[in-house]
Amino acid sequence: MKKTIQQFKALADETRLRLLALLLSAGELCVCDLTAALQLPQSTVSRHLAYLKGAGWVNDRRVGVWIYYSIATDSVMQQEIADVLCKRLPQIPSVAEDIKRLASFSEGASCA
């Protein structure tokens, strides 16, 4: 039950929801992509990603100096919540702008 509570608490923050929306829309992203899309400092993005990782919402993998994040859906409940978030978060104007910004940034150079 404690893990479930932690997962729901992780969803109670705007920045973390915006991060999840970007990861749900794009699959796997590095911190530099997320920082550019959200227009937030790298330290803020990394702190929220660490919280999401601790709550079990994201996985990470290192490639050289870059760390790539993706959605973790280890349980049926988590998958069902991720499905709802994927469908509903892009309907929020600020999230839609984040996704649009990510798309325009991703067309150019990436961090790799």
Query: What is the CATH number assigned to the segment(s) 2-106?
Result: 1.10.10.10
* pLDDT at 110 (0 to 100): 47
**Using one digit for the tens of pLDDT, what is the confidence trace for 9-52?**
999 999 999 999 999 999 899 999 999 999 999 999 999 999 99
* pLDDT at 109 (0 to 100): 42
Per domain, the residue ranges of the chain are 2-106
pLDDT of 1 higher than 50: yes
pLDDT of 94 higher than 90: yes
CA distance 36 to 10: 22
**Using one digit for the tens of pLDDT, what is the confidence trace for 40-87?**
999 999 999 999 999 999 999 999 988 999 999 888 988 999 999 999
Distance of CA 72 to the CA centre of its chain: 10
